[in-house]
């Protein structure tokens, strides 16, 4: 059985040293993973119309990356469930679909009360874990889901949503996406107002998916720590979705956390190149490649002629270590993006894989304390500090501003 190399990358395909895996599992028992992003809610909308009789996640579901037994096996103590809606849904349609996503997560928790518990604060996360349950937090992905309405933003917070990813793959009228043509130059005045209102509420500003200019503008504007719920390091894999080093350095001053994602095209340059070539070849197909269901047959055909390269646990660990080195050990976390992509790295194929990643890091010389911050401590600290910033703003007399869709950056429809 191959041993994991000390203070270095494990060889590709190497098996995990049993003593490191045992140590990783012991650490997870005391400091479970708070994962920043999982797309199970949208996946179950597509696959089963949210029908948990058709897909019972209390039982193994091999067609998915996520089910309760594998969350347990992976040492996941708290999961931010993404209440994502695609950018093709706009205006009222985006808002209603987001509410349906929120409703599903509430129903998911109600369906499995012995295993899951809704959480909106760091204290509620801790109490859920102490009771033997997986804490369920909500994060809204894509600012189009508020339709330019601060009132809608406030109501999402009231329903338990604790972060908003400012954009998804396309711009919103008030913020630029990493994968669209820049229009706002980062954040507009209304975009800054969204950040300010999130600070006032205690909602985390999530900068995954946004353009580097938007990252920098939000870091300047925010009075509370921000997060990247599922992003990796651009210095290691030069794709727009990843975080540049100057932003990671600024993140340390802000107190935020970059939750490293596992997505192969964001952690492996070879995988990124393959995906870029596939996009070029299939661009004229009329199929949206970000739509996993619609694009799967086309990608399968392409893959038969052009085998897909694989990412590994070591690739992900490289990004975790880079974020630690640039931003510091207090500013790194994990955001797997399970059920948001079709393929994950070898060794991290589903949510049971976290112990293997931790074993890799332990084999590189990480201390127990550093691992505990990575999995648990940093995410809970950010939740607490965002709540504390909201209390400070309330004490300073900050009040909710009015919201009028169309007037403050919304769809332009009559109010």
pLDDT tens, position by position, 376-407: 999 999 999 999 999 999 999 999 988 754 44
Tell me, yes or no, if 37 is annotated catalytic.
yes
User: Which position among 31, 35, 37, 206 bears the catalytic label?
Assistant: 37
Tell me, yes or no, if 368 is annotated catalytic.
no
pLDDT at 290: 65
Whether the CB-CB separation of 149 and 102 falls below 8 Å is answered with no
Residues 6+ apart with CB under 8 A from 308: 271, 274, 343
Domains, the chain = 24-268+310-395 (3.20.20.140)
Residue for token pair 């931003």: 327
Tell me, yes or no, if 209 is annotated catalytic.
yes
Query: What are the tens digits of pLDDT across the range 172-198?
Result: 999 999 999 999 999 999 999 999 999
Of residues 328 and 294, which shows the higher confidence score?
A: 328
Strand 257-260 and strand 332-334: pairing?
parallel
DSSP code, position 230? S
- What are the residue ranges of helices labelled H in 232-353? 245-254, 264-267, 269-282, 292-305, 313-327
pLDDT at 73 over 90: yes
Whether the CB-CB separation of 118 and 100 falls below 8 Å is answered with no
Tell me, yes or no, if 319 is annotated catalytic.
no
Average model confidence (pLDDT) for the chain?
93
pLDDT at 243 over 90: yes
Structure tokens at 344: 């994950």
Cα Rg, the chain, nearest whole Å: 20
Tell me, yes or no, if 93 is annotated catalytic.
no
User: Which position among 168, 170, 322, 331 bears the catalytic label?
Assistant: 168
Give the whole-angstrom CA distance, residue 256 versus residue 379: 9
User: Which position among 31, 35, 39, 65 bears the catalytic label?
Assistant: 39
Tell me, yes or no, if 306 is annotated catalytic.
no
pLDDT at 285: 74
Structure tokens at 70: 């594998």
Split at pLDDT 50, 70, 90, the class of 371 is: very high
User: Which position among 337, 339, 360, 385 bears the catalytic label?
Assistant: 337
User: Which position among 35, 67, 141, 339 bears the catalytic label?
Assistant: 141
pLDDT at 409 over 80: no
Nearest alpha carbon to residue 199 among 360, 382, 49:
382
Residue 32 CB neighbours (<10 A):
23
Query: What are the tens digits of pLDDT across the range 324-363?
Result: 999 999 999 999 999 999 999 999 999 999 999 999 999 9
pLDDT at 12: 57
pLDDT at 250 over 90: yes
Give the whole-angstrom CA distance, residue 272 versus residue 265: 4
Residues 6+ apart with CB under 8 A from 249: 326, 327
User: Which position among 65, 170, 209, 331 bears the catalytic label?
Assistant: 209
β-pair partners for 204: 163
Residue for token pair 């045992």: 22
Strand 134-141 and strand 76-82: pairing?
parallel
Judging by beta carbons within 10 Å of its beta carbon (0-12, 13-18, 19+), is residue 395 exposed, middle or buried?
exposed
Tell me, yes or no, if 141 is annotated catalytic.
yes
User: Residue 193, by phi and psi: left (phi above 0), alpha (psi -120 to 50) or beta?
Assistant: alpha
Of the listed ranges 58-72, 115-129, 282-296, the one predicted with least confidence: 282-296
User: Which position among 230, 319, 322, 331 bears the catalytic label?
Assistant: 230
Mean pLDDT, residues 88-102: 97
Query: What are the tens digits of pLDDT across the range 213-233?
Result: 999 999 999 999 999 999 999
Nearest alpha carbon to residue 288 among 87, 98, 83:
87
Split at pLDDT 50, 70, 90, the class of 16 is: confident
pLDDT at 299: 83
pTM value? 0.93
């Amino acid at each position: 059985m191959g041993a994991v190399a000390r203070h270095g990358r494990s060889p590709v395909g190497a098996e995990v040293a049993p003593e490191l895996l045992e140590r990783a599992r012991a650490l997870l028992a005391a400091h479970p993973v708070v994962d920043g992003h999982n797309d199970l809610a949208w996946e179950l909308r597509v696959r089963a119309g949210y029908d948990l009789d058709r897909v019972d996640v209390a039982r193994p579901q091999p067609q998915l990356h996520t089910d309760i037994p594998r969350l347990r096996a992976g040492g996941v103590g708290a999961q931010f469930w993404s209440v994502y809606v695609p950018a093709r849904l706009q205006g009222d349609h985006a808002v209603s679909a987001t509410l349906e996503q929120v409703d599903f997560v509430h129903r998911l928790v109600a369906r499995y009360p012995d295993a899951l518990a809704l959480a909106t604060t760091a204290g509620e996360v801790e109490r859920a874990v102490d009771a033997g349950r997986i804490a369920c937090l909500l994060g809204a992905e894509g600012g189009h889901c508020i339709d330019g309405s601060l009132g809608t933003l406030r109501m999402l917070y009231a329903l338990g949503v604790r972060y908003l990813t400012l954009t998804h793959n396309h711009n919103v009228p008030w913020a630029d996406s990493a994968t669209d043509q820049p229009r706002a130059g980062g954040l507009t005045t209304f975009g800054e107002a969204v950040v300010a209102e999130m600070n006032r509420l205690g909602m985390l500003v999530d900068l995954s998916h946004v353009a580097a200019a938007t990252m920098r503008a939000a870091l300047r504007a925010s009075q509370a720590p921000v997060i990247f719920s599922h992003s990796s390091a651009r210095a290691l894999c030069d794709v727009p979705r990843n975080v540049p080093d100057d932003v990671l350095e600024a993140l340390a001053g802000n107190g935020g956390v970059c939750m490293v994602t596992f997505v192969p095209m964001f952690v492996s340059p070879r995988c990124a190149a393959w995906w870029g070539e596939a996009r070029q070849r299939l661009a004229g197909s009329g199929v949206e490649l970000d739509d996993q269901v619609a694009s799967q047959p086309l990608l399968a055909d392409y893959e038969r002629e052009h085998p897909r390269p694989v990412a590994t646990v070591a690739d992900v660990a490289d990004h975790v270590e880079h974020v630690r080195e640039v931003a510091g050990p207090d500013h790194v976390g994990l955001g797997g993006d399970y059920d948001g992509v079709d393929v994950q790295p070898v060794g991290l194929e589903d949510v049971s894989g976290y112990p293997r990643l931790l074993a890799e890091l332990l084999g590189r010389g990480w201390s127990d304390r550093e691992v505990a911050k990575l999995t648990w401590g940093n995410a809970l600290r950010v939740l607490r500090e965002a709540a504390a910033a909201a209390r400070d703003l309330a004490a300073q007399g900050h009040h909710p501003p009015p919201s009028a869709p169309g007037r403050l950056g919304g769809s332009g429809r009559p109010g």
